[in-house]
Copies of this chain bind each other. A is one copy, B any other.
Amino acid sequence: MITKIEPRLCIVSSQFSGSSNFLSADEVVANAMRICRKSRRYDRGSTIYDEGDRISTLFRVTEGAVRICKFRSDGQRQIEAFYLPGEFFGFDVERSCRFSAEAITNTTLQVADVAEVLAMQTEIEGLTGALWQIAVEDLHRSQEHILLLGCRNAQERVLAFLDEMASRLDVTSIIDLPMSRQDIADYLGMTIETVSRTLTLLVQNAEIAMPRPRSVMMKRRANCHAQGLSRPFHV
A-side residues, CB < 8 A to B, are 1-2, 5, 7-14, 45, 51-52, 56, 70-73, 75-78, 80, 91-95, 98-100, 114-115, 118-119, 121-122, 128, 131-132, 135-136, 138-140, 142-143, 145-147, 149-150, 152, 182, 186, 189, 223-235
Contacts and interface: CB of A to CB of B under 8 A. Distances in A.
A150 B189 contact: yes
Contact of A146 (B78, B94, B226, B227): B78
Closest 6 CB pairs of A and B: A78-B150, A73-B226, A142-B142, A149-B149, A8-B121, A75-B232
B143 A95 contact: no
Given A70-B147, A115-B2, A136-B92, A11 B227 contact: no
Looking at A92, A98, A186, the one whose CB has the most chain B CB atoms below 10 A away is A92
Query: Chain A: interface secondary structure?
Result: loop
A73 B221 CA distance: 14
B118 A71 contact: no
Contacts of A140: 92, 94, 98
Contacts of A149: 146, 149-150, 189
Contact of A118 (B5, B13, B136, B152): B5
Nearest to A114: B11
A8 B7 contact: yes
Nearest to A12: B56
A232 B12 contact: no
B8 A95 contact: no
Q: Which of A9, A94, A223 has the most CB of B within 10 A?
A: A9
Contacts of A182: 234
